[in-house]
Each structure stands twice: as C-alpha cells, then as structure tokens.
Structure 1
Amino acid sequence: MFCKRCHVFKASTPAGLCSGCAADPDPGPVSTPAPAPVAASAPTGPVVQPHGPAWLRSPVGIGKAVVVMLGVVIAADLFAVGAGINMYDVMGALADDGLGNGGYNALMRRSDQADSLYYAAGVAQTAAFFAAAVFFLVWFLRVRVNAEVFNPFGHTMKRGWTGWCWFVPVVSLWFPRRIMLDIWDASSPAGTRAPHGLVNAWWTLWLITLFINPEDFGTFDRADTADEIRSAVVQVLVSDAVDIVAAVLAILVVLRLTRMQHEKALRGPVPMGV
C-alpha cells in the first residue's frame, strides 16, 4: 500500500504513511494563491503624430537633383569670378592712362564686352540660385517629414515652418538651422547623434552671404569712376568666393543627411526600448 500523503512511497507506519511523511508535521490544507491583478492593457490603434501624418519617401533622387543644381550655382559663381577679373582689368587699363592700349575705340569695345559679360554672369547667378532654391526646399520638406517618422517628438518647430522659415524676416536667421539640426538628430543612427559641425559651418557661410551680397552689389551700382568700379569688383569677387564655399558646404550637408536617412530607412524600425 502506498503512502496516504505522497502516494509515491510504500506505507511503513500504522497510520498509512511512509517514513518521510511520518517524520514531517502535517502541512495542513494547501491554499491556492490569489490570481495576480490584470495589468491595464496598452492602448491600441495608430499613434497620433504631433505634426500631422508622416510617411517615408526616399530623399535620394531629389537629393541628387539638389547637388546638381548647387553645382550649377558654383559654375555660375566661377563664371562671375572670371567676368569680375575681366572687368577689373578693363577698369585698370582705363584708370592707368584714360584710354588703355589701342585707343578710345578699342577701350570702348573692351568696356562694352566687360559690361555684357558681367551682366550675363549676374543673370546666370540669379537663375541658378532660384532654381537651386526650389529643389532645395522640396528636398528640405521631404527630409523633414522623414525625420518625423524616425522621431515624431524630436522637432521644436511645426512642419509649416520648414518652408516659410526662409522667407520670414528675422526668424530666417535661425529657424532654418534649428529645423535642420532637429532633422539631423532624428536621422542619426539609433542611440547616437551625428556632430553638428558641418551644419554650423554651412549656416555660418550662408548668413555671411546674406549680409555681404546686397552690400557688395550696391557698392558696384553706386560706383562711377574706374577706381571705384575696381574697388567694388574686388568686393563682389570676395562675395562670390564666399558663395562658392557656402555652396560646397551645402552639397556636403545634402549628401550627408540624404545618406543618413537612406541608411536608417534600410535598417527598418527601431525596436521598442532602444
């Protein structure tokens, strides 16, 4: 006969228990533990986006277009530099002896050609700038929406400012940079933050061009004598050089941010808790 308590070993006592159960006190009735309280279920349904619906769209194609257009801006600036150097030489010849080499007619032809070339360079710069600006704004809005997918709550400015911030006086001096840095941080690999040095360098050069370009061209328009024109041309040449460097930095920013977003999208969604 098996033990009445454990039903495993044979009973060895008159009470019908095995030696092990007989040595232990009576455990009494076994109580059933109360069920643990049920935790409140997590809310279901789509997460509300603080800046409106956001979806991923590849920035690669529009990013390449922006780089091409910024390259056109650089080419137009180089054309303007050449035209400026030519204008400087012609005005130098006029300032030296009043007629230059070849007499009055030759000087007038050179002066007319220099004026035409300088005007054409200005038109090319203006056209290239506005064309590049359109492509850049399209790209900027796309990477902003992508960044909202990566981090919906990491943006200090509303989405509408992504376009308008460039045109509103005063705020245009810092809103675009703030939006760009938010996009930059949201697009960085999970758990890291890409350095801001490149963005800050580009933005600094951009602000410099905003202040020196109007002043330099205004000085050129007000110049009357050959010496004044030469001095104004030098200022414009410096402005063109700064603009070229700013465009190069803008290309690097576009390439870097486009690559970060493309790589982050390919890695897929970040697991919860990361």
Structure 2
Amino acid sequence: MTYASIPTPSPHPPVPGRVLRSPIGLAHAVTALLGVVMVADLLIVAASLNMRAMMGRVASGGTVGFDDGELSRADYAMAGSVVLYGIAMLATAVVFVVWFHRVRQNAEVFAPGALSRAPGWAIACWFIPVANLWIPRSIAADMLWAAQPEPRSRAPRHRGLLNAWWGAWVWAIVFDRYASRTYDDAQGVEAVRDAAGLVAVSAGFDLLAALLAILFVRRLTAAQHEKALAGSAAPGR
C-alpha cells in the first residue's frame, strides 16, 4: 500500500521516485509476533519458578513424592519454553527489521537528505556487533523527528518511550546472557535453584522490553500515518 504523493516542505530536494508506503500492516505483524514473544516469556517464567520450587524442596529434604519423571518434565518445560522463545524471537526480528526499514524509507520522504544515516543502515545496523547497541536507537530517534508535524522541534515526540524501550531491551540482553550462562553452568541443587530464579527474572525483563517495543512500534507507525494523511490532505503544498 502506498500513500498519495506528499510534497512535504523541506530545505532538501526530494529523492526521485521515492514514495511513502504504509507501515501499518507490518506494524500489526510485529505487534502480534511480539505478543507471542511475551507469551513465551511467561512460559519461561512459569517453568523457571516451577524448577526453582522443586529444587528448593529437594534442598530442604522434601523429596517425598518426587520421581525422576517429574524432574524430567520440569527440565523439558524449561527447554521447551526456551525453544519456543527462540523461534518467536527469530520470526519477530525478521519482521521487525522489515518494518524498521519501511519507516526509515518513509522518513526519507518526510525529510529527504536531512537524516544522519542512509536508509540502508536501518537493516545493516542490526548486524554490526557492539554498534548494534546504539546505532539503531539513533536511527529510530531520527525517524521520530522526521514524523513530527511541521515545524519540527529538536526533541522528537515520544523520545521518552524510545529511551525506555531501548534501555529495557539492552538490559534484557545483558541480563539474559548472565542468567543463561549461570543456569547452564549450575552444578548442584542449590545452584540450579538460584539460577532458575535468575532465568525467571530475565524473562520478566524481556517481557517488559517486548511490551515497550509494541508501544514504540505503534506510536511511530501512528505518527507517520497521521503525517502522511495530513500531508496528502493539505492543498497547495
């Protein structure tokens, strides 16, 4: 879907042949997939707390009624929820990057030549180790700025939401690596119990990051959609 041609005022010449394309469908897909990620996070929390409770009972000597099958099921629940999360995250990442590139291309129409990085960076930035922890955020800030009504202020709307999402996402990544490594290296009942608790907390952080990502995707998509409609409806521009 493309919008009508919108001659938005800009001190920079427009890019020939570039038109606005609606990001709404992709935003719905990203939102739905992030919802699946959140469900997977909840399953990880449940499986981790179950494992923690079982290890706590074993550590306290309360092994009456336990059998190897119950412990195996708890372990399978941990592994299965993590696999589901991995699949959901992979699918989400692919669609999210497509959406991210779409809104970056739209931003070029709203503010041709005025943004700090070329549209191709909206894809490439995610695959650069270490730098992918801050370059995508700067691109997102540019897109928020470009989506503002004219005249644009230096501080884009919803920057607080952007910062909250990005901070939560980076923290969730760092904490997840710590929790996962601790759980994988855990030896002994008490170590597994404590590590399972860390995994549950990590999934909670990831759930928060996914929720904030949904809000950011919806806000930026809505801002671009509103600007596109306002521009196409404005006569004599």
Distance 2:30 2:79 in 1: 25
Distance 2:173 2:125 in 1: 15
Distance 2:37 2:213 in 1: 11
**Cα drift, residue 80 of structure 1:** 0.7
**1:142-184 C-alpha deviation (Å, 9 max, x unpaired):** 0000110000122111222111111101211210000000011
Flag the 1:177–1:271 CA change in 2: closer, same or farther, 3 A.
Answer: farther
Distance 1:143 1:53 in 2: 16
State yes or no: 1:81 paired with 2:41. Answer: no
Structure 2 equivalent of residue 196 of structure 1: 159
State yes or no: 1:163 paired with 2:123. Answer: yes
Note the 1:1-274 alignment, pairs <5 A.
47=13, 49=15, 53-97=17-61, 100-102=63-65, 106-192=66-152, 193-268=156-231
Distance 1:73 1:210 in 2: 14
Is contact 1:202–1:250 with CA below 8 Å preserved after alignment?
Answer: yes
Identical counterparts, % of pairs:
41
Counterpart AA for 2:98: V
Counterpart AA for 2:63: G
**1:224-268 C-alpha deviation (Å, 9 max, x unpaired):** 101000111111111111101100000000000111111111112
Structure 1 residue runs of 4+, over 4 Å off? 269-272
**1:198-217 C-alpha deviation (Å, 9 max, x unpaired):** 00010001110121111110
Distance 1:84 1:189 in 2: 46
**Cα drift, residue 92 of structure 1:** 1.2
Is contact 2:56–2:190 with CA below 8 Å preserved after alignment?
Answer: yes
**Cα drift, residue 48 of structure 1:** 5.5
TM-score (norm 2): 0.88
Is contact 2:14–2:112 with CA below 8 Å preserved after alignment?
Answer: no
Distance 2:158 2:27 in 1: 20
Aligned-partner SS, 1:55 = coil
Flag the 1:53–1:212 CA change in 2: closer, same or farther, 3 A.
Answer: farther
Distance 2:44 2:215 in 1: 23
Distance 2:52 2:74 in 1: 9
Larger helix share, 1 or 2: 2
Is contact 1:165–1:171 with CA below 8 Å preserved after alignment?
Answer: yes
**Cα drift, residue 271 of structure 1:** 8.0
Q: Give the aligned length.
A: 221
Q: CA RMSD in A?
A: 1.7
- Specify every segment of 5 or more residues in structure 2 that has no aligned partner in the other structure, as ranges: 1-12
Distance 2:80 2:60 in 1: 26
Aligned-partner SS, 1:159 = coil
